[in-house]
Amino acid sequence: MKTLTVTAARQNLGAWLKKTLQGEDIGVMIDGAIVAFRPVKVYSEDCAEHEYGATPDALEDFAQKANKELDGDRKGRRLKPFNGKLKRG
């Protein structure tokens, strides 16, 4: 593993991150410990759970409330399809 100081890592961070993506092990020494860079995959289906701590039940409740509100707006003709052009006021 290539180990860097915080200063060295900061000076050329983009290059170190690219090396990490190419499979090199890169770490930064801070307070006597090494923090390693590593690529991660992001999956959109679990983003709310990982980013915000939302449970699947909370997400389902949100989706039901949002769909109910959208249905009401459609029925009340407050929701219009987007035609690709923004109205300027």
pLDDT at 45: 75
Q: Domain segments of the chain: what residues?
A: 2-36, 44-75
Which of the 8 DSSP states describes residue 88? P
Within the chain, strands assigned E span 2-5, 26-30, 33-36
Q: What is the pTM of this model?
A: 0.50
pLDDT at 79: 85
pLDDT at 20: 96
pLDDT tens, residue order, the chain (89 aa): 999 999 999 999 999 999 999 999 999 999 999 999 999 887 777 788 878 888 889 989 999 999 999 999 989 988 878 888 887 75
3-class state of residue 59 by DSSP: helix
